[in-house]
């Protein structure tokens, strides 16, 4: 897993090449909505892109993480099917519904049944390299979502320049990133991580939580500001020294959100001594997002090392899938 985290900038570079070289079959037309359907490591890219397009798309952008598609999906919907393995049962069911509803479908996968159905139905299928854990292939899937949106004129292609800058930034700062990640992981070990971010970076916070779950084998939770100020903040009442607060921040977060973060810290300090602030680096959305993703991915694998665990192992998920296959 360490090698996969280290190679994240290389993966993004390869993803840009894959996206540039794909020739779409589907014709460009006007859509009423966009639905990305996928789960886990295959679906998180949709959540992060959703934050990016929030102020760019003129139509709704939904991330679906279940068996059923929203009832509004129809011929004027763009459905992006994300399943790294190509065999995710929830995503396959949603894909079949999209076919019945005659939506425009774009598949992003490494193969499996998704690729087989796409071939049979003559659907667009963007193939990415196979043989890795889905959570380690975020760059491949996320970038293809962006190219898909750009192909249909829903966003511009400025993201390419931003991602190239992010790759350069990550490579130049690799040693410093690993040092920061090790220091953070040492502060977190033995504690329950609680991750907070602004609402516009919630996808990155979710990614960090999921990486702690799968790589570090830890329970964790996340909250977005300002929403958590209207409910979760009240829960900060008892002693919480067994918990570590990690706040993902950007210097250009909305000023009222930054004020809330500062006030929140005063509340947290009454209950826990472990409060870690991680500021992004870079200028664009993708420079900041990928900096935080790369750093927190390192935190998750270094925590696994400190806990003397194999970051790659996900036996309980394998057990779940085998049990489901018998139902």
The residues assigned a catalytic role are 214, 230, 321
Rg (CA), the chain: 20
Strand arrangement of the beta sheet that strand 77-83 belongs to: 61-64, 33-37, 77-83, 104-109, 124-127
DSSP 273: S
Closest CA to 79 of 58, 100, 105, 55: 105
Give the CA count within 13 Å in the CB-facing half-sphere of 36: 27
Cα–Cα distance between 282 and 102 in angstroms, integer?
A: 41
**DSSP for 41-108, written as a single string:** HHHHHHHHHHHHHTTT-SS-EEEE-SSS--TT-STTEEEEEEESSS--HHHHHHHHHHHHTT-EEEEE
Q: Sign of dihedral through CA atoms 70, 74, 78, 79?
A: positive
Q: Is the dihedral of CA 23, 26, 29, 30 positive or negative?
A: negative
Q: Which own/partner contact pairs does 54-62 have at CB distance under 8 Å and 24+ positions apart? A: 54/200, 56/155, 57/149, 57/154, 57/155, 59/31, 59/32, 59/33, 59/34, 59/154, 60/32, 60/33, 60/34, 61/33, 61/34, 61/36, 62/33, 62/34, 62/35, 62/36
Distances (CA, A) of 184 to 114, 121, 297, 299: 39, 48, 12, 7
> Residue 126's closest CA among 104, 108, 145?
108
């Amino acid at each position: 897993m360490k090698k996969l985290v280290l190679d994240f900038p290389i993966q993004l570079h390869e993803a840009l090449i894959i996206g540039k070289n794909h020739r779409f079959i589907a014709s460009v037309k006007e859509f009423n909505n966009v639905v990305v359907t996928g789960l886990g490591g295959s679906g998180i890219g949709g959540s992060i892109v959703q934050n990016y397009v929030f102020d760019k798309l003129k139509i709704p952008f939904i991330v679906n993480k279940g068996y059923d598609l929203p009832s509004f999906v129809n011929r004027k919907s763009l459905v992006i099917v994300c399943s790294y393995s190509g065999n995710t049962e929830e995503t396959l069911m949603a894909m079949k519904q999209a076919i019945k509803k005659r939506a425009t479908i774009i598949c992003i996968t490494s193969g499996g049944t998704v690729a087989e159905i796409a071939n049979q139905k003559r659907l667009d299928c963007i193939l990415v390299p196979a043989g890795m854990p889905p959570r380690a292939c975020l760059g491949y899937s996320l970038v293809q979502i962006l190219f898909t949106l750009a192909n249909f004129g829903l966003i511009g292609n400025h993201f390419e320049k931003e991602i190239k800058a992010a790759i350069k930034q990550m490579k130049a700062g690799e040693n410093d990133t690993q040092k920061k990640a090790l220091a953070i992981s040492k502060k977190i070990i033995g504690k329950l991580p609680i991750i907070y971010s602004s609402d516009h970076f919630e996808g990155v916070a979710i990614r960090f939580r999921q990486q702690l779950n799968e790589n570090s084998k830890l329970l964790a939770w996340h909250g977005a500001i300002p929403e958590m100020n209207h409910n979760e903040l009240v829960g900060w009442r008892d002693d919480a020294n067994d918990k570590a607060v990690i706040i993902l921040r950007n210097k250009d977060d909305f000023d009222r959100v930054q004020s809330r973060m500062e006030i929140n810290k005063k509340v947290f300090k009454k209950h826990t001594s472990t409060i870690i602030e991680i500021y992004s680096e870079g200028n664009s959305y993708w420079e900041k997002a990928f900096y935080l993703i790369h750093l927190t991915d390192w935190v998750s694998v270094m925590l696994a090392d400190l806990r003397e665990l194999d970051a790659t192992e996900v036996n309980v998920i394998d057990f779940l899938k085998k049990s489901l296959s018998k139902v």
